[in-house]
């Protein structure tokens, strides 16, 4: 749905980085957004929780039967078996259960996983080195880090990541076939605005010039690569998007 904006969208600073052109160049405060995907609770996940809960109950009963039945009663004969079974079931649930139920975010700032509330691990598109697709997961590899998106609980997010990666950093997923995942569903995921990135103190990708003032920063709107306003190349050094 289109909304009326009183202020016209600003593409660049006051004419510093050349005139005209309508490429992917963005300034730091240009609006950016991403989609947030909650995981879908799967049967395996419910079973994991059930297994862990039953294990905890059995462990409690076992501990009571073994040590807390009073002096004269002594330990219940079944108590050690209950304890052993509880340990086995709990161990199996923890080992084989499905715990990866973290929300995933996809958008202008790359791919992110919410490890804990307020603790977000992010790989910018400009830091992506490779995408890997297996039967179980789509993995986004960055330099020294990776985010695995399980297909069972996060298929809509994985579809979105694959589609965005194909248009933003196509060179990194040449071995994934077209149509390997269903096309992204525009109704899936909650669209959220992104804060402007923290860029002061970082360096221009091309000139290595220090970005001392945030107003000097320019971004590639496609992969998020960072440039000093005086060092913007005609094409993005990372994804080759036309910048001016």
Binding site for Zn ion (CB under 5 A): 220, 222-223, 225, 236, 238-239, 241
181 vs 226, beta carbon nearer Zn ion: 226
45 vs 218, beta carbon nearer Zn ion: 218
CB of 241 to Zn ion, least distance (A): 5
12 vs 222, beta carbon nearer Zn ion: 222
Candidates 227, 112, 226, 221; CA nearest to 168 is 221
**Measured CA angle at 43 (ends 40, 49), to 5 deg:** 95
Give the integer Cα–Cα distance in Å for 171 and 107: 18
97 vs 196, beta carbon nearer Zn ion: 196
DSSP-assigned states of every residue in 202-229: -B-TTT--B--SGGGEEEETTT--EEET
23 vs 65, beta carbon nearer Zn ion: 23
CB of 237 to Zn ion, least distance (A): 8
Q: How many CA atoms within 13 Å lie on the side-chain side of 118?
A: 0
State both tokens at 97: 């259960």
CB of 106 to Zn ion, least distance (A): 17
Residue 192: count other Cβ atoms within 10 Å of its Cβ: 11
CB of 226 to Zn ion, least distance (A): 10
Give the integer Cα–Cα distance in Å for 219 and 197: 10
CB of 135 to Zn ion, least distance (A): 31
Give the integer Cα–Cα distance in Å for 14 and 4: 23
């Amino acid at each position: 749905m289109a909304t009326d904006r009183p202020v016209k969208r600003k593409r660049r600073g006051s004419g510093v980085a050349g005139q005209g052109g309508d490429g992917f160049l963005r300034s730091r405060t240009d609006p950016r957004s991403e989609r947030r995907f909650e995981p879908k609770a799967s049967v395996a996940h419910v079973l994991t929780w059930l297994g862990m809960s039953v294990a905890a109950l059995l462990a409690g009963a076992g501990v009571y039967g073994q040590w807390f039945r009073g002096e004269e009663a002594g330990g219940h004969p079944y108590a050690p078996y209950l304890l052993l079974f509880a340990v086995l079931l709990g161990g199996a649930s923890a080992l084989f259960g499905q715990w990866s139920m973290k929300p995933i975010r996809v958008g202008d700032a790359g791919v992110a996983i919410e490890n804990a509330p307020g603790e977000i691990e992010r790989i910018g598109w400009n830091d992506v080195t490779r995408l890997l697709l297996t039967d179980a997961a789509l993995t986004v590899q960055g330099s020294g880090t990776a985010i695995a998106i399980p297909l069972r609980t996060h298929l809509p997010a994985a579809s979105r990541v694959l589609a965005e990666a194909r248009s933003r950093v196509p060179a990194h997923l040449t071995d994934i076939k077209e149509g390997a995942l269903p096309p992204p569903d525009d109704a899936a995921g909650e669209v959220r605005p992104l804060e402007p990135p923290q860029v002061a103190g970082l360096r221009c990708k091309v000139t290595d010039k220090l970005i001392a003032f945030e107003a000097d920063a320019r971004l590639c709107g496609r992969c998020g690569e960072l440039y000093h306003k005086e060092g913007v190349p005609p094409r993005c050094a990372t994804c080759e998007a036309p910048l001016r």
